[in-house]
Amino acid sequence: MSAIIGQKAPNFAVSDWVQGAPTNFDQEKDHIVLVEVFQVNCPGCFMHALPEAINIYNKYKDDGVRVIGIATAFEDYDKNTLENLKMLAETGEVIGETKNALSMYGQLQQGKLSYKIPFPLAMDKLTKTDGKVSEDKVMQFIYGQIPEFDAQPEEYRKQIIQRVRDYMKTKEYSAETFEKFALQGTPSMILVDRKGILRDVSFGQSGNVEAMIQKLLNE
């Protein structure tokens, strides 16, 4: 089941919880849930998205807002691993491009994060791919990214279909939560209201997360 904004949010998929008690959307009745989806090897996730999510957590945890971090992998499979997520949760140590970027900006203390992630952390459910790409899967991915795809010129549609097919063939793993919510990259945010309805899915830093949460709190 794919996620559709305005409808009941399907549960996200997790292979392992590395911090906090296991939960899911159907267990968070009467709570607003913010899921921050990131990759361990993603500088922007650590410089902007996770500090923003921590701020939301600290500010609204007593008002019925739950924040959950899900680490995924759609590239750099050797770095975006469960082992590196566990190391992050246990020691604050970061790796790869994240470590290089945070070091450059003076945001590490003895090679570790200067902040502790206080909310539950889990690993997206990754499944090894077999290299076979069905047309249905290609089109499902495209419609998730370009809802008005059918209205585009034919040549453009052909190019996009081929590009997506090639991309899918190179993927070593399929990340279930990432694909179920048709995420475009990391960091991404999934926002679900008190009734379990999916209200927003956004890629990058929108800057209006807090405003959306305040609006949901007032509903």
Could you give the domains of the chain? 14-125+181-217 (3.40.30.10), 130-170 (no CATH)
Question: In this predicted structure, what is the pLDDT of residue 3?
Answer: 84
Angle at CA of residue 164, ends 163 and 168, nearest 5°: 120
Residues in the chain: 219
The predicted pLDDT at position 206 comes to 64
| Average pLDDT along the chain, 219 residues, taken 10 residues at a time | 87 97 95 98 94 96 97 93 97 96 92 93 88 77 79 88 79 85 92 96 83 93
For residues 8 and 27, give the distance between their C-alpha atoms in angstroms, rounded to a whole number: 13
Report residue 169 as tokens: 């063939």
Can you give the pLDDT at residue 29? 87
Cβ within 8 Å of residue 150, ≥6 positions away: 157
In this prediction the pTM is 0.83
198 DSSP assignment:
E
> 217: helix, coil or strand?
helix
